[in-house]
Amino acid sequence: MARDDSIDRRRFLSGGRTADPAGPDTEHCISSAVVLVLPHREEEMAGRLAGIPGVEVRARGNNRFVLVLEGPGNGAVGGLLTRIAVMDGVIAANMVFEHVEPSDARGV
């Protein structure tokens, strides 16, 4: 069986699609997520979430946050969501929407 070197496993798993060195940096990703936190930690988590680069708190209430995540490719945004999901005080972090577009479409 012939090996296909056009796909790099590590790049693919981190959000890239090919072995192209430009990889995920040629894309820009905007996603939204809903995060559920422990009731007694809502105020603390509001500050911690707002302090993460690439994260914007758009709404909050009833121990839930609606976030906008933005970064260079879906691998970076997926990393942000994973980082949030494992934070102390977070019960659940779920992606709701994802949009990826080529950076050149944005004039970057």
Which domains, and CATH codes, for the chain? 24-106 (3.30.70.920)
Distance of CA 64 to the CA centre of its chain: 17
Sign of CA dihedral 47, 68, 81, 108: negative
* Per-residue confidence (pLDDT) for residue 24, from 0 to 100: 45
Q: What's the whole-number mean pLDDT along residues 3-27?
A: 55
In the structure, what pLDDT confidence band is assigned to residue 17 with cuts at 50, 70 and 90?
low
For residue 103, is pLDDT > 80? no
pLDDT in tens, 22-48: 444 578 999 999 999 999 999 999 999
In the structure, what pLDDT confidence band is assigned to residue 101 with cuts at 50, 70 and 90?
confident
pTM exceeds cut of 0.75: no
